[in-house]
A and B are shown apart, each in its own frame.
Chain A
Amino acid sequence: MIIKEVITEAVDKDSRLVLKRIKTSHGDFSNRKLAISNFMYNCEKDRMKYGQPLFNGIFQTYHLRFDKVLNDWDYLGLGNAKKHAETNNRIFIPYKPRNDEKLSQMKWKDSISDFKIMVGKVENVPFIIPLDATLNNWKKHRVEAISLLSPSQSLVPIISSKHNVSHFPTIIKYEIGKSNLIGIHSYELRDITERTNLSYLRAINSDTKTGDKTSLFVNFNYPRILTRYLSIAGCFAFNCFAGDVFSERTIFPTGIPRMVRNYMFDKKPEEYNFYDFKEKKFNKSLPQKEWYGIDLTKSSMANVSVLQGLNGYQLIKCISHIKQQDDLDLINALILNKQNVIEHLRNYTGWGVFLDTIVLPSAQTQQTLLKF
């Protein structure tokens, strides 16, 4: 599937949330989509053995693992993941997660050489913008990167939300509408640089008008659960900061010590975090029982056919994935139907507390941010 263009459909004036139309070779879609990540892709493969249908998702991401022994990226699964995405008409985006140290060490020559490797492998080619890059630097390297692409390939610039604050907004302002996909390397909303950059991003994103050509912001590597903020879903939090496509952090089992791994997989269903679609946050069985009188996790699991080919942990994560996507679709419907989005979101504990805790800039502050 190929993205032809991304158009702003509507901007909610109070929440500053934007509804976008994604025009693709296979029809039109809206934004706020959870990507089929490594984990979901593996679940999907297991389910397919039992003749179960695919998950509903037009984006598939693949987070590559860095092999510390070989000191190189492990490209082994990339080909199969790409083939799976293409066969099932999905937009495939690979991503190389890097920690702060690795990211801060990246220079233009590293970005270019990394880009050249990926040019030979995928259609949506990621380009990591170094942390201190200025707009002029980027313009120069962008031209070089574009010249290396074939007509069927697209550039996916990836910028960190901890990018130098002086240059982040100028690069975003330049890039919005030019690239269909812009990657945002995301964190946990703890850092002041991250929060400032994301506020800029939100302001720039919501400054577009209906019918304007825009971009999709792909949040990579964010934590699935923001434990610091009442355990709300990371996708909701980053949706408040202009996120359109969400590719959560991947935990590679090979990198986890055996003892920790055993502990993780030996847990009982009541010990796993489940997406409580009533409260709009993650929680476990005990608080569910106390509040609703029933164990939401187990009762949701009981409604799923045993012929899913998934273990308990996979099942809980899959149900949570589906419920989170339903909620993102609900936000799109609210914007489309011109309802009072903020008032509606504030009716739920998780969303309400998050909106009150993380003070989102008002429309007036947004205009001030845009002047810089």
Chain B
Amino acid sequence: MPKAIPKWVQQRFSLLWKKYEHQDITYDEIKKELKVDDDNTISVFINELKKAEWIDVKLSSEDSRKRVYTLKAPNQIYLEIKKEKGK
């Protein structure tokens, strides 16, 4: 069940969503898109999204050492969170 995420993660997720809606995205693409040099920040960002179930992670079909991420639709996530809160 998806959970709420910190505001700074939400802001950056929205930025990625605008460009990578229903598309796969790699670590390097996230780094480039968010214009962040610091690996710690990107790791924490991805980890927050994984923990909160806002992204799906799978291994790259081209290079099994790498991971690719798929962003989940925010509308769907909000609905699920709302539904869970209503229980």
Q: Which residues of A contact B (CB under 8 A)?
A: 229-230, 279, 287, 290-291, 343, 346-349, 352-353, 356-357
Given A353-B44, A357-B44, answer yes or no on A347-B8 (Cβ-Cβ < 8 Å): yes
The reply on B23 being an interface residue by CB < 8 A is no
Q: For window 40-54 of chain B, which residues contact chain A by CB distance below 8 Å?
A: 40-41, 44, 47-48
- The distance from the CB of B15 to the nearest CB of chain A, in whole angstroms, is 10
Q: Give the nearest-CB partner of A347 in chain B.
A: B7
Residues of B within 8 A of A287 (CB): 35
- 13 of the cross-chain contacts (CB-CB < 8 Å) are A229-B40, A230-B40, A279-B8, A287-B35, A343-B6, A348-B6, A348-B8, A352-B6, A352-B8, A352-B44, A353-B41, A353-B44, A356-B47
The reply to whether A357 and B40 contact each other, CB–CB distance below 8 Å, is: yes
Residues of A within 8 A of B44 (CB): 352-353, 356-357
The reply to whether B6 and A347 contact each other, CB–CB distance below 8 Å, is: yes
Q: Give the nearest-CB partner of B42 in chain A.
A: A353
Q: Which 3 A-B pairs have the closest CB atoms?
A: A347-B7, A349-B8, A346-B6
| Bound-complex Cα distance A279 to B35 (A) | 14
Residues of B within 8 A of A229 (CB): 40
| Bound-complex Cα distance A356 to B5 (A) | 13
| Bound-complex Cα distance A229 to B41 (A) | 9
| Bound-complex Cα distance A356 to B39 (A) | 13
**Which secondary structure dominates where chain A touches chain B?**
helix
- The distance from the CB of B58 to the nearest CB of chain A, in whole angstroms, is 23
The reply on B62 being an interface residue by CB < 8 A is no
| Bound-complex Cα distance A63 to B11 (A) | 41
- The distance from the CB of B23 to the nearest CB of chain A, in whole angstroms, is 23
The reply on B28 being an interface residue by CB < 8 A is no
| Bound-complex Cα distance A336 to B41 (A) | 30
Residues of B within 8 A of A279 (CB): 8
The reply on B38 being an interface residue by CB < 8 A is yes
**Complex partner residue of A230 from B41, B47, B48, CB under 8 angstroms:** B41
Residues of B within 8 A of A346 (CB): 6
Residues of B within 8 A of A291 (CB): 35
The reply to whether B41 and A349 contact each other, CB–CB distance below 8 Å, is: yes
- Contacts beyond the supplied A348-B8, A352-B6, A353-B44: 15 A-B pairs with Cβ under 8 Å: A230-B40, A230-B41, A279-B8, A343-B6, A346-B6, A347-B8, A348-B6, A349-B8, A349-B41, A352-B8, A352-B9, A352-B44, A353-B38, A353-B40, A353-B41
| Bound-complex Cα distance A76 to B56 (A) | 64
| Bound-complex Cα distance A158 to B47 (A) | 39
Q: For window 1-49 of chain B, which residues contact chain A by CB distance below 8 Å?
A: 6-9, 35, 38, 40-41, 44, 47-48
Q: Give the nearest-CB partner of A280 in chain B.
A: B8
- The distance from the CB of A25 to the nearest CB of chain B, in whole angstroms, is 42
| Bound-complex Cα distance A229 to B38 (A) | 9
Residues of A within 8 A of B48 (CB): 352, 356
The reply to whether A290 and B41 contact each other, CB–CB distance below 8 Å, is: no
